Amino acid sequence: MIVEYVRYRVGADRRAALLAAYQVAGESLRASRNCLGYDLAECDEAPGTFVLRIHWDSAAGHLEGFRKSALFPPFLAAVRPFVGDIEEMRHYSPTSLRWSR
């Protein structure tokens, strides 16, 4: 598994539009056999800063599977207005260090 993090900074006037875009884009993620889950969080200390976390089965599953599938064009169409607001988009490999309740 690999985790993709996408960090956005959008103005307060575009907050609702970003959330609506991911309501639509999420349909493609949920339909993908390569996507294991996702969540979108907004920073409390810096409103308008969002982090999208997508769990993929692998980097190849994301880049070769999802991005080359019929699910990617509608996903991209939904989020395209926010591509210029991306501050970071990277893949991270989880380590063995974790804890949760």
pLDDT digits (tens, 9 = 90+) for 27-39: 999 999 999 999 9
Whole domain around residue 70: which residue ranges?
2-92
What is the SS3 string spanning 5-66?
EEEEECCHHHHHHHHHHHHHHHHHHHHCCCEEEEEEEECCCCCCEEEEEEEECCHHHHHHHH
Q: What is the domain-level CATH number for residue 16?
A: 3.30.70.100
The percentage of residues in the chain with a pLDDT greater than 90, rounded to a whole number, is 97
In a domain, 97, yes or no: no
Q: How many domains does the chain have?
A: 1
The yes-or-no verdict on residue 17 having pLDDT over 90 is: yes
In a domain, 9, yes or no: yes
The pTM of the full predicted model, rounded to 2 decimals, is: 0.93
At residue 99, the pLDDT reads 93
In a domain, 11, yes or no: yes
